[in-house]
Amino acid sequence: MREVIIIGSGPAGFTAGIYTARAGLKPLLIASSVEIGGELMKTTEVENFPGFPDGLQGPELMANFQAQAERFGTEILYEDVVEVDLEGDIKIVKTGSGQTFEAKTVILATGAAYRELGLPREKELSGHGVSWCATCDGFFFREKTIAVVGGGDSAMEEATFLTRFASKVFLIHRRDTFKASKIMQDRAINNPKIEVIYNSEVTELKGEKNLDGVTLRNTVDGSTSHLDLDGLFIAVGNDPRVWLVENQVELTAEKFIQVEGRSSKTSLPGVFACGDVIDPTYRQAITAAGSGCVAALDAEHYLTNH
Ligand code: NAP
What's the pLDDT tens digit per position in 232-273? Answer: 999 999 899 999 999 999 999 999 999 999 999 999 999 999
Whether residue 124 is contained in a domain is answered as no
Q: What is the pLDDT of residue 222?
A: 98
Whether residue 169 is contained in a domain is answered as yes
Whether residue 283 sits in one domain with residue 228: no
Number of domains in the chain: 2
Ligand 1 within 6 A of CB of 158: no
Q: Is the pLDDT confidence value at 44 over 80? A: no
Whether residue 161 sits in one domain with residue 81: no
Whether residue 253 sits in one domain with residue 207: no
Of 13, 41, 40, 15, give the one whose Cα is nearest residue 29.
13
d(C-alpha 267, C-alpha 250), whole Å:
6
Domain edge (last residue) among 206, 234, 262 = 234
Whether residue 249 sits in one domain with residue 107: yes
Give Rg (Cα) of the chain. 21
Whether residue 251 sits in one domain with residue 160: no
User: The CATH number of the domain where 135 resides is what?
Assistant: 3.50.50.60
Whether residue 123 is contained in a domain is answered as no
Ligand 1 within 6 A of CB of 200: no
CB-based contacts of 275, cutoff 8 Å, min separation 6? 8, 10, 11, 12, 13, 109, 110, 111, 288, 291, 292
Domain assignment of residue 300, given as a range: 2-114+238-305
Q: Is the pLDDT confidence value at 33 over 90? A: no
Whether residue 13 sits in one domain with residue 99: yes
Whether residue 122 is contained in a domain is answered as no
d(C-alpha 129, C-alpha 298), whole Å:
45
- Which tens digit of pLDDT belongs to each residue from 209-228? 999 999 999 999 999 999 99
Q: Is pTM beyond 0.85 here?
A: no
Q: Environment class of residue 182 by beta-carbon count within 10 Å: exposed (0-12), middle (13-18) or buried (19+)?
A: exposed
Ligand 1 within 6 A of CB of 39: no
Ligand 1 centroid from CA 133, angstroms: 14
Ligand 1 centroid from CA 25, angstroms: 37
Whether residue 199 sits in one domain with residue 264: no
